[in-house]
Amino acid sequence: MKPEISIEFFPPQTNEGMEKLRTTVSRLAVLEPEFFSVTYGAGGSTRDRTLATVMEIAAQGHSAAPHLSCIGSTRDGVREMLTTFAGQGIRRIVALRGDLPSGMADAGEFRYANELVKFIRDETGDRYHIEVAAYPEWHPQAKSPREDLLNFKRKVDAGASSAITQYFYNADAYEHFVDQARALGVTVPIVPGIMPIGSFSKLARFSDACGAEIPRWMRRKFESFGDDAESVRAFGLDVVTELCRHLVDCGAPGLHFYSMNQAGLTLEICRRLGR
């Protein structure tokens, strides 16, 4: 079985970065992803670059989905963005709470992602397929697993079409989260987020910040390789490919790859999966 996939990028900061991304998109297009998504900086700091990157991807003939975060946003500002998206033919949005940038005191007119989802639905009806975030190992700021699960349900009840999870390496966490969500009556697809591993040091820093657990057996194995980048890459490919295969076999509706604007690892994992 060939799983449906989607792939995430971040907006490049330079012309050189954009040129490299064009090449990356062209390489990954052979996988025929359902869509490419483009992240949105804290407090909307990359708004223009996010839109420009989405338009660049769309111009190459691919489905592109901008991220839209509510922290630091106003209703008028979001309404303006929705009008711009509509004018550009965008049909899918990834709606997130987002982070408040350091030094920014005003959180804007939305507090939570469910409020943003409801606003989009109220303004545009069924025009957009709205993706939201899910956290199998729980959001690091959640008061409890139960509260985090209820927060997820609020986003779905507000009108989310489907969800993409934070990346994880414990398949049991994803399966348990899906079971718990289904028990609450959530029926939308919950797509696992997949983080290929190219550098263990970068992964460890990022995981510590976002609350994604690296299982001890994986951490010890990576640490044993030291500066042997080739062994890190090979082991990372094996681990993530097996995780993807297990998730698909267990019924995951697709795979969403956090590409970090690189093509090689995602291409190799998907090749091993038979895409």
Q: What is the distance in angstroms between the CA of the first residue and the CA of the last residue of the chain?
A: 9
Angle among Cα 213, 240, 196 to the nearest 5 degrees reads: 80
Q: Which residue among 8, 56, 115, 137 is the active-site one? A: 8
Active site (annotated) includes residue 123 = no
Residue 267 neighbours by CB under 8 Å, 6+ apart: 27, 28, 30, 31
C-alpha 203/C-alpha 209 separation (Å) is 10
CB 156 within 8 A of CB 132: yes
Supply the DSSP string of 17-46, one letter for each residue. Answer: HHHHHHHHHHHHGGG--SEEEE---GGGTT
Give catalytic residue positions. 8
